[in-house]
Amino acid sequence: QVQLVESGGGLVQPGGSLRLSCAASGRTFSNYCMGWFRQAPGKEREFVAGISRSGGSTYYANFVKGRFTISRDNAKNTVYLQMNSLKAEDTAVYYCGAGPYCSSTKSYHYDYWGQGTQITVSS
């Protein structure tokens, strides 16, 4: 069992930046591919970014390329999402997930989820 807790959400103006953190329990964090997904009201959960077990490979949705960066620190059992140049359409609840398929963009390939953290981009 893996428990994930996201933090770092909040209200930010368009063009601003936030860094999300996802802290994992247990000593098996490095066994999992990690991903960030987001869900806006009335919409399905969608893939944002993923990262391999060692952190050597990263994957991004087209709509965040050049703006967001995913990283992980296995010694700290933590994955991060640096979000720059935020847009109003980035407003959503952001979720951290853990699973076995590092390049997957499908939420059902992730076995564990955090509770989510709200990102609101508005002036």
pLDDT in tens, 8-47: 999 999 999 999 999 999 778 999 999 999 999 999 999 9
- Given this model, what pLDDT does residue 11 score? 98
Query: Which tens digits make up the pLDDT trace of 66-98?
Result: 999 999 999 999 999 999 999 999 999 999 999
Q: Does 120 have pLDDT greater than 90?
A: yes
Q: Does 65 have pLDDT greater than 90?
A: no
- SS3 sequence of 56-96: CCEEECHHHCCCEEEEEEHHHCEEEEEECCCCHHHCEEEEE
Determine the distance from the C-alpha atom of residue 110 to the mean position of all C-alpha atoms in its chain, rounded to a whole number.
12
- Given this model, what pLDDT does residue 26 score? 77
Q: How many CB atoms lie within 10 A of CB 13?
A: 10
- Given this model, what pLDDT does residue 27 score? 79
Please give the average per-residue pLDDT across 56-73, as a whole number: 96
- Distances, alpha carbon 89 to alpha carbons 28, 86, 95, in Å: 34, 8, 16
Q: Which residue has the higher pLDDT, 19 or 2?
A: 19
Residue of 102, 92, 84 whose CA lies nearest to 46: 92
Q: Does 1 have pLDDT greater than 90?
A: no
Q: How many CB atoms lie within 10 A of CB 25?
A: 13
